[in-house]
Amino acid sequence: EVFTDADYTLKGSPRSQSGSSSRLTNTDIINLKKAGFSDDLIIARIRSSPADFNMSTTMMIELKTSGLSDAIISSMVAKASEK
């Protein structure tokens, strides 16, 4: 069986079919920031990808305390309102 880059997680193991999702989540954005990606790159990814963000007040506070900038959080709010 042949796998593409999209079939692999960061650790190099194939993604399970049931566990993979093409929609960005809050956790994905936090992980991108923790990995050292710039705000501009993260915002570009938010704008260009389908997403399923939880933007409750409690979650926004968690995002801020996780180190996300206001610009990233604002982009997430805008994306979530597109639904």
Model confidence band, residue 8 (pLDDT cutoffs 50, 70, 90): very low
For the chain, the distance separating the N- and C-terminal CA atoms, rounded to the nearest angstrom, is 36
CA angle at residue 25 from 20 to 46, to 5 degrees?
Answer: 110
pLDDT confidence of residue 49 = 95
pLDDT confidence of residue 21 = 58
Q: What is the pLDDT of residues 9-63, one digit of tens each?
A: 444 444 444 344 589 999 999 999 999 999 999 999 999 999 999 999 999 999 9
pLDDT confidence of residue 4 = 47
CB atoms within 10 A of CB 55: 16
pLDDT confidence of residue 12 = 46
If one compares 3 and 48, the residue with the highest pLDDT of the two is: 48
